[in-house]
Structure 1
Amino acid sequence: MPRPLDALVTKATSTGYGVKVLAESGIIRPYSPRALGRAGRALQQWGTGPAGGFLAMASLAPDRVWIIDERGPCTFREIDRRTNALARALRKRGVGEGGSVALMARNHRGFVEATVAAAKLGADLIYLNTAFAGPQLVDVLEREDPSVVIHDEEFTGMLAKAHVAQRVLSWVDGIDGQPDPSGPATLDSLIAAEPDDAPVAVPDHHSRIVILTSGTAGTPKGAPRNEAGIDAAISLLSRMPLRSGWRVHVAAPLFHTWGFAHLMLSLLLGHTVVLRRRFDPEAALAVTDEQRCEEFVVIPVMLQRILALPDETLDRYSLETVKVVAASGSALPGDLALTWMDRFGDHLYNTYGSTEVAYASIATPEDMRAQPSTAGKPPWATVVKIYDERDQEVPQGESGRIFVGNSLLFEGYTGGGHKDMIDGLMSSGDVGRFDEDGRLYVEGRDDEMIVSGGENVFPQEVENCLARHEAVVEVAAIGVDDEDFGKRLRAFVVLRDGAAASEDELKAHVKDNLARYKVPREIVVLDELPRNATGKVLKRELVDRDNSDNHEEDA
């Protein structure tokens, strides 16, 4: 292994365990000395972010297919040439080293090519959530001030009020994918018009990726993170048995921490990444089977939507080649983990973390068979501690604030501010506890807990209870004012197709399984819960709905 490449893994392989994980995953394996030399130089010059990671794997396996989307397959060599040309075209439009590019695109090659091209220029990347509302986009773009916004054509109207001088289309929905000649340029047109696809000069600045928080409680915050080292990959691989050379269907949004993490892992493990622009539950099963994928990357609501399909539909798909279903983004409600594994097998892994701390713990199939609601155990080189309000660590079994330490903590919000820190550990914003086996349980957001009649109540516990009712497919709960108890919960449920359950029946179910003071004051049936593109419930919209209903009652 050449010296530059060796330097990058020294820290991670300083123990025999690190070497073991790298070897088992197939990262350490025979390559020609010349290919290893090129890969090592790429990492030394470009870093371990999107540009360096891509160029290293393109050196090792140039003709391997990296991306398969609706337009077909694309190899590392093809994407290298295209992104060289695109980088030059973007530079002519004002994108420079240390500048930034905003990207609002679904899962397709345009997202990937824009990311690699901008990184080759040393520009930072700001990933915009495809479910943002117009006002949120305006606020974020005004704060981040990118040189260029690259977006799918469908988002043109949403971006209309944002002040951005340069726009480029990453995907076109028109006839045969042809853009409006009077509209913005496309990635394809920029690449086609650029005659030079030779390598670009190495920038001094390595790109940062700015992942935006979910914005479930207000304007999304930018959470920048510098490039991760190989030790971060070892951490994930220590609890999730991914292997090199796999074909992986990434259904989770690429702009989300989890989707992006697997795009970057593909550059270390040499994965072929299968993408589809939109998630459809049956289509996701179909493409995973058809492409014979070994890994399926999802957010939990996708599992819920798949399991809500009729049995005769589910019976058509086996997922027989899948070895890992990797979920992250929110808690697995109720007995979702058991239901999935009973149907498709014990290959579900759920990762707990946040935009700010990345991953904090990983639940394996064995963990969830034993305790379906657990968030699992911290992976290698990750520290998780539970602190009380006096910043003192609590005894095992007691609840408190979750703090995390690893190599992936973010640097602070782009608009200013930071997460609370204690002894180098960062707050996840959640409350939880450890059991006697070292498993973590997340009880809810620290800002969602209510005090009802002097007792602490976390909505998530009640949500999990209601989710276990046979008629309920989705549930969310919020705190509302109550004259007698100070606060009570109001729950919103979505029932399964053809199912029926009265409010009294659902309340009785909670009363039979939880303490009396945890029974919601009201349970409202909705057709669907408001969610963002990463599957998180927009509880502020439920609060607004609750306030609106109260005003109507008072009128």
Structure 2
Amino acid sequence: MDLPFIVATLTRRGLLNPGRPIRVASQLGALRKWGWSLAGELRQAAARDPDRTAIVDEQGGELTYQELLDRSERLARSMRAGLGVQAGDRVGVLCRNHHGLIEAVVAAMLLGADAVLVNTGLSAAQLATVADEQSLRVLVHDTEFAERILGLPADVHRIDERVQADLIAGALPGELQPPERDGRTIVLTSGTTGAPKGARRPTPNGFGPLVSIIDRIPLHARDRMMIAAPLFHTWGYAALQVAFALRATIVLHRRFDPAATQTALVAQQCDALFAVPVMLQRLLEVPPPNPRPPLKVVAVSGSALPGGLAPRFMDVYGDVLYNLYGSTEVSWASIAGPADLREAPTTAGRPPHGTRLEILDEADEPVRDGRVGRIFVGNEMLFDGYTSGARRETHDGLLDTGDLGRINPDGLLFVDGRADDMIISGGENVFPSEVEDLLSRLPQVREAAVIGVPDPEYGQRLAAFLALHAGETLDPEAVREYVRHYLARFSVPRDVIFVKYLPRNATGKVLSRELRRYYG
């Protein structure tokens, strides 16, 4: 990424504003010594703005950047002295959104250990598998998960919230030095169709990744940001990294509740909200606050925006919505701003500066006429492979996202869904997302999911699962007729099943495997 573009973007977002010379020098020294990991970003923020509020935690009160760094360092020293944690070890973190999760991740990285971000929705059996496959030495966990971790190997040290507080309080004095190796972040894939895999996230090596995001999403130094997306998820963790880089004040709630979120956005005067799309749906289901929160940015990622959600949300909260399409493996691929989403509500937008995106056919040739193909992406933050040793297909430096998509004549990307989710019914290719978007526009429908199920005649047929708003009803044949009116006959769901709610994981993605249980 060219230097003039980096400087111009950092200037626009307030990161190059003058400061006290001694603090600016200390900030740059922290980055030079500790690098661009989460630990390094926290150190630079504490060096430049030590007394600025870093975390507003609904249960833990407020912590300044210096206090957060001190607590993380104390935890690191206690983990090294009492548990023998050292560079190269792996520390699992099974926590909801609160300062304890951040302290644990930073502490691991200060020691050169890898932090494994564990999905709070995993079952006891999945947790045991993750602990074994990731060779966890320590698991830092919220007390509420005590029973779920009983099946972990005996040699995994458990640190709950009480123990974590004791380790911080009882830490021996001393100074930490940069470890012999950088601590890495390992994010577990969502596991919507099977067991989650550990993906090794790269550590940024400069301002490039930050600039790619804040050039297109107008976040500024010292903003007040609520991160509602789970911090263990790629999107929530990316928001945390951006927040530290911007020396922002971060507002956290352990669980997402739409009314409580609205109250906090107003009370904390938040400039930005990081969320997943289903959270926007929930916010629209409760009366909007009065006065409205002073939001300038609502940034979402993690799953596709259902049809019609973007304009409905912006009609209430203003043209502040930004949709980032990416994945654990490729980080980001494209960003859609408010104007894009007004023009095409389901678009994934355009690649940001420094990102390459290609639509390739089965022969790995570019598709440039709006036809559907495989989405390949290249940027500075492509993952380093799965911890199992498996990798994804690459082509000319671009990584396969596993998704299918197309680019329209205006250069906007549209994602049609996972390649392995495409349904072939009677020889015709059907993308569930197109049918889901259409069904989501029905006023009676709260949320919709479409999957393929076995069919003896056509190979597969479509099954639509609909959760309706309270008090609403729909006739299955009316649903089929509605789809028949707008789409081809092979896109009409043969089965229409009404459910109270769609099964989702902790990041809001629909669990297709749970829906398939209706068919044995």
1:74 to 2:47 alignment: no
Deviation readout 1:175-201 (Å, 9 max, x if unpaired): xxxx5xxxxxx21111111242x4312
Deviations 1:309-338 (A, max 9, x none): 2xxx32x34433100001000000010001
The equivalent of 1:115 in structure 2 is: 105
Aligned to 1:372: 345
State how far apart, in whole Å, the 1-side matches of 2:42 and 2:160 are.
20
CA offset digits 1:143-168 (Å, max 9, x no partner)? 00111100001111111111153444
Residue deviations 1:354-411, cap 9 Å, x none? 1100110011000010001111010110011000011111123111000000001001
**1:463 & 1:47 partners in 2: Cα distance?**
44
> Is 2:357 aligned against 1:384?
yes
Match of 1:416?
389
Which residue, out of 76, 91, 96, partners 1:101?
A: 91
Report 1:329-478 matches (<5 A): 329-478=302-451
Q: Tell me if 1:211 matches 2:187.
A: yes
1:47-446 equivalence runs, <5 A: 47-70=35-58, 71-91=60-80, 92-171=82-161, 179=162, 186-196=163-173, 198-228=174-204, 229-309=206-286, 313-314=287-288, 316-446=289-419
Which of 495, 502, 506 is 2:475 aligned to? 502
DSSP 3-state at the match of 2:452: strand
Contact 2:262 2:293 in 1 (8 A): no
Match of 1:461, SS? Answer: helix
Partner Cα distance (1:340, 1:294) in 2: 16
- Equivalent residue of 1:395, what SS? coil
- 1:159, 1:528 → 2: CA distance? 28
Residue 52 of structure 2 contacts residue 65 of structure 2 at CA under 8 Å; is this kept in 1? Answer: yes
SS at match of 2:449: strand
- Give CA deviations for 1:113-149 in whole Å, capped at 9, x if unaligned: 1111111111110000000111111111100011110
Say what the alpha-carbon RMSD is for the aligned residues.
1.2
Runs (5+) with no aligned partner, structure 1: 1-11, 172-178, 180-185, 549-555
Q: TM-score if structure 2 supplies the norm length? A: 0.97
The whole-number CA distance in structure 1 between the counterparts of 2:512 and 2:234 is 21
Say which SS state the counterpart of residue 149 (structure 2) adopts. Answer: coil
What's the offset of the Cα at 1:38?
1.6
1:485 to 434, 451, 458: 458
> How far apart, CA to CA, are the structure 1 residues paired with 2:94 and 2:426?
45
TM-aligned CA deviation for residue 170 of structure 1: 4.6
Contact 2:202 2:382 (C-alpha < 8 Å) held by counterparts: no
Contact 1:286 1:317 in 2 (8 A): no
Q: Tell me the distance in 2 between the aligned counterparts of 1:319 and 1:438.
A: 34
- Secondary structure (helix, strand or coil) at the match of 2:501 reads coil
CA-to-aligned-CA distance 1:4-54 (integer Å, 9 cap, x gap): xxxxxxxx452x322221111111111233222222221122110011111
CA distance in 2 between counterparts of 1:319 and 1:163 reads 49
Verify the 8 A CA contact 1:124 1:208 in the aligned structure 2.
yes
What is the identity, as a one-letter code, of the residue corresponding to 1:219?
A: A
SS of 2:477's partner is: helix
Aligned residue type for 1:448? D
Alpha-carbon contact 1:223-1:412 (below 8 Å) kept:
yes
The aligned amino acid for 2:67 is E
Unaligned runs of 5+ in 2: none
SS of alignment partner, residue 497 of structure 2: strand
Moved more, 223-232 or 398-407: 223-232
SS of the residue corresponding to residue 490 of structure 2 reads helix
8 Å CA contact retained: 1:168, 1:187: no
Q: Which amino acid aligns with 2:187?
A: I
Per-residue CA deviation, residues 189-246 of structure 1 (Å, 9 max, x unaligned), is 11111242x4312212111100110011111000111212310011111211111111
Cα distance in 2 between the residues matched to 1:231 and 1:110:
29
Q: Residue 32 and residue 440 in structure 1: after superposition, are their counterparts in 2 closer, same or farther (change >3 A)? A: same
Inter-partner Cα distance in structure 1 for 2:291 and 2:209:
32
For residues 456 and 106 of structure 2, what CA distance do their matches in structure 1 show? 56
Q: Give 1:267's aligned amino acid.
A: F
- Whether the 8 Å contact between 1:13 and 1:19 is mirrored in structure 2 is no
Aligned counterparts of 2:148 and 2:344: Cα–Cα separation in 1: 43
Counterparts in 2 of 1:161 and 1:298: CA distance versus 1, 3 Å: same
498-507 or 436-445: which moved more? 498-507
Aligned to 1:183: none
Report SS of the residue matched to 1:224.
strand
Moved more, 76-85 or 98-107: 76-85
* Residues matched between the structures, number: 517
Report the Cα distance in structure 1 between the residues aligned to 2:353 and 2:450, rounded to whole angstroms.
Answer: 34
Contact 2:463–2:493 (CA<8 Å) still a contact in 1?
yes
Provide the C-alpha distance between the structure 1 equivalents of 2:160 and 2:272, rounded to a whole number of angstroms. 26
In structure 2, do the counterparts of structure 1 residues 432 and 414 end up closer, same or farther at CA, with 3 Å as the change threshold?
Answer: same
Identity of aligned residues (%): 44
Partner residue, 1:512: 485
Show the counterpart of 1:29: 17
TM-score by length of 1: 0.91
Instruction: State the secondary structure of the residue aligned to 1:17.
Output: helix
- Asked whether the 8 Å contact 1:308–1:496 carries over to 2, the reply is no
Match of 1:6 in 2: none
Instruction: Report the alpha carbon displacement of residue 267 of structure 1 after superposing the two structures with TM.
Output: 1.5
- Is 1:93–1:166's contact at 8 Å kept on the other side of the alignment? no
TM-aligned CA distance change 1:155 to 1:342, over 3 Å: same
Are the counterparts in 2 of residues 360 and 404 from structure 1 also a CA contact under 8 Å? yes
